[in-house]
Homo-oligomer: A and B are copies of this chain.
Amino acid sequence: MSGQLTIVGLGPGPAGWVTPAANAAVAAADVMLGYAPYLARLTPRAGQIFEASDNREELQRAVRALELASQGKRVVMVSGGDPGVFAMAAAVFEAVEKNPGLANDFDIRVEPGITAMLAAAARIGAPLGHDFCAISLSDNLKPWEVIERRLRLAAEADFVIALYNPASKARPNQIRHAFRILNSARKPETTVIFARAVGRDDEEIEVTTLKEAPDALCDMRTLVIVGSDATRSLRGNKGRIWVYTPRSARGK
């Protein structure tokens, strides 16, 4: 029997945001691999094996997935959000490249998912309504100078900026460095959104400004969106705050 490897995005959390295609891949799997909290969202059916791993072990997990699929297993590798955005799909293809021959006898598929910035944006309006970029602030895998350079150029380009992995216990201060850089290039009133645990029971969304942003609570489960010059806030029904970036842009 020929194996198969599907890298699946489970979205930010709620079942209502998991695509039917992702669910079908999960249902058909012999073995499920993934970071423990993502596997914990799923209920194994009889005969299905779950192999949880830690979140620093992405490359080992990817190689393990290739080995199991090459043995004829239907393997699903789960990611939160979308597997192609700062997640497992790139790790799997890196493992394919580093282990020539291991992935020659089975098909690989990627099932997209709702990535954190889309969910966060939907909750607060339409802040990504115009040109935007996504930057991971984690310097586990890239030097801080690269991050800093991209932040400066993104600010200069007046992109809306989605910041993934803004902070962790090991890196509590990077988001403050990032805000310092952005503060030097964007006006202090620029809208900033802190979207924490989107789609979960403890979801919390804070809208503030670049000037005030360094004081906001920010952790591993937070996605930060920094507006462009055009990003606007307005009050809706029952005083609710909406943030959106207009579809049109003026020249300088």
Contacts and interface: CB of A to CB of B under 8 A. Distances in A.
B24 A20 contact: no
A108 B15 contact: no
- Interface majority SS on A: helix, strand, loop or mixed? mixed
A166 to B, nearest CB: 14
A198 to B, nearest CB: 10
Contact of A118 (B112, B127, B244, B250): B112
Contact of A125 (B18, B93, B122, B145): B93
A184 B159 CA distance: 21
Between A84, A97, A127, A251, the greatest number of chain B beta carbons within 10 A of the residue's beta carbon is seen for A84
A227 interface: no
Interface string A66-80: 000000000000000
Interface string A196-229: 0000000000000000000000000000000000
B89 A126 contact: yes
Tier of interface size on chain A: 35 or more
A111 interface: yes
B246 A90 contact: yes
Contact of A89 (B90, B129, B146, B154): B129
14 contacts: A16-B19, A16-B20, A58-B247, A82-B118, A83-B122, A86-B130, A86-B247, A90-B245, A93-B126, A94-B244, A110-B126, A112-B122, A131-B133, A132-B134
5 A-B pairs with the lowest CB-CB distances in the bound complex, closest first: A90-B129, A16-B21, A133-B133, A89-B126, A142-B249
Interface of A: 11, 14-21, 24, 58, 82-87, 89-94, 96-97, 103-108, 110-115, 118-119, 121-123, 125-136, 141-143, 145-146, 149-150, 153-154, 156-159, 232, 234, 236-237, 242, 244-252
Given A96-B234, A115-B118, 11 more contacts: A84-B121, A84-B128, A86-B247, A90-B130, A93-B125, A94-B244, A94-B246, A94-B247, A107-B237, A108-B237, A110-B123
